[in-house]
Structure 1
Amino acid sequence: MANQPFALVCLPFAGSGAGFYRPWRTQFDVEFEIVPIQLPGREEQFLDDPFTDMPEAVRELTRRVLDGTDDDTPLALFGHSFGAVLAYEIALELTRRGHPGLRHLFVSGSPGPHNGRAERASGLSDEEFLGRVQEFAGYQSEVFEDPDMREMFLPLLRADVEMHESYEPSSSEPLAVPVTSLRGCDDTLVSRTQAEEWSATTRDRFAYREIRGGHMYLIDHPDVLLQAVAAH
């Protein structure tokens, strides 16, 4: 894989969009193509309703992955937190379709998909919900400090979080590609034990890698993350 160009398909975490990953294309010198996948309800698609149903989301996002990559280009999937389960489900869907391009799954900041997370934010009042999400993520987006922006983006974040919290895997069959689980070494939301639960999702190689930082380490250290991807 190191000698063959490939595409790193990046799935957003809850409340974010493809714009988080787009700067990586020019900021870092990597030997692979970064392909951000957009979710409805954000950025250039802010008028579209966000996904509320995981199977529907996976079908549509798989189509976008295939539209955004060439058939003969090897691809790897990357997702952080909510994006990790999206990436995993897309990997399962590509496998069901017999797509030959999938080479690797990178999951970040997430417990194994068959165990989930005990903490919940769904159903709380707006203030409690944002406080809980901030507790989960370890940071507060500036978007929610502006009342107008908050009113616009809060339903989007709620939809992502509720879909994440109600998520159940579509299959228990292990993938036939390597899986790498990444985690911030100071992450207080996802433990190492939880991050290593991803080993059960593959019958190929599994690797675990820690990167300095907390749950949202990829905000401060995307270069280290991309080095880890390149190494695998």
Structure 2
Amino acid sequence: MAIGVDSRWFRRYAPAGAVRRRLVCLPHAGGSAGFFHSWGRAAADGTLPSGLEILTVRYPGRQERLEEPAIDSVERLADEVTSALLPFTDTPLTLFGHSMGSSVGYEVALRLESAHGIRLDALVVSARKAPHQVTPKDTYLRGDEALLEEIRGIGGTDTALLDHPELRALVLPALRADFKAVGTYGPRPPVPVGCPVTGLVGDRDPRVTVADVRAWAAVAPAGFDLTVLPGDHFYLVQQREAVLRTLAAHLG
């Protein structure tokens, strides 16, 4: 286990014994490390393999890092996460990203390989178009109400935060930064990663189709598989057990 490592970027869920592998979870736009809190318990109760440490990424501008400026670029987020991950690469490493987190995870995988010679065990992408098919959006340029309406439509963010004026003022800067990061991450050449890629998607996602996620195969010469589950963009909330079983099959 990486003892004494600065975990400002990660909330850590350590196993009872020695760490034999790690799962890194990257939240969606508007999300936080707390979104994956219940996954930390899954490693302890046997749903996920023993010896697994889970790291959930703490983006700046929210929760414990509320006073820090949010980062409005997928590439810059990936730079920072990559640097923070280096002390944790002493064990096999799998990245799971949901929505925006999938793009960040893909960019982290490329950086670990090209700059540090580190290849992931697997990259798991969820509810996100492949890098060569993402489409820029100008939602971040709109007024607060238009931005909030978009967020409500997607789901995944506590509506109490959006409806309470003081709380909304606290979370809006990070939300706008995230939507700028997503909105300016345009299509790019499908640079392959060296690890297998697994795609997950809800069958009723209004923004990301099964074909959109299947297109990740273009960056996965080491192998690609796809799991389609019932649900919308946040299918993984209702389908938590099925998602964890899918992960367990890759982490076992």
**TM-score, normalised to structure 1's length?**
0.90
From 54, 61, 83, give the equivalent of 1:34: 54
Q: Within 2, Cα distance between the matches of 1:169 and 1:45?
A: 30
Specify the code of the residue in structure 2 equivalent to 1:62. T
Structure 1 residues not aligned, in runs of 5+: none
Query: Superposition pairs for residues 11-160 of structure 1, below 5 Å?
Result: 11-27=26-42, 28-29=45-46, 30-31=48-49, 32-67=52-87, 69=88, 71-117=89-135, 120-137=138-155, 141-160=159-178
Q: Compute the displacement of 1:56 (Å).
A: 2.4
RMSD, aligned α-carbons: 2.1
Alpha carbons 2:73, 2:180 under 8 Å: kept = no
Alpha carbons 1:73, 1:101 under 8 Å: kept = no
Structure 2 residues not aligned, in runs of 5+: 1-18
Specify the code of the residue in structure 1 equivalent to 2:220. T
Q: Within 1, Cα distance between the matches of 2:39 and 2:85?
A: 18
Q: Tell me whether 191-200 or 4-13 shows the greater mean CA deviation.
A: 4-13
Q: Compute the displacement of 1:20 (Å).
A: 1.4
Alpha carbons 1:6, 1:33 under 8 Å: kept = yes
Specify the code of the residue in structure 2 equivalent to 1:61. V
Q: Does 1:7 align with 2:22?
A: yes
Q: Compute the displacement of 1:104 (Å).
A: 0.4
Q: Within 2, Cα distance between the matches of 1:65 and 1:221?
A: 28
Residues paired across the two proteins, number:
227
Alpha carbons 1:89, 1:170 under 8 Å: kept = no
Q: Compute the displacement of 1:117 (Å).
A: 3.2
Q: Compute the displacement of 1:141 (Å).
A: 3.1
Q: Compute the displacement of 1:146 (Å).
A: 1.1
**Partner SS state of residue 23, structure 1:** helix
**TM-score, normalised to structure 2's length?**
0.83
Q: Compute the displacement of 1:118 (Å).
A: 6.0
Q: Compute the displacement of 1:127 (Å).
A: 1.2
Q: Tell me whether 113-122 or 172-181 shows the greater mean CA deviation.
A: 113-122
Q: Compute the displacement of 1:97 (Å).
A: 2.2
Q: Compute the displacement of 1:119 (Å).
A: 5.3
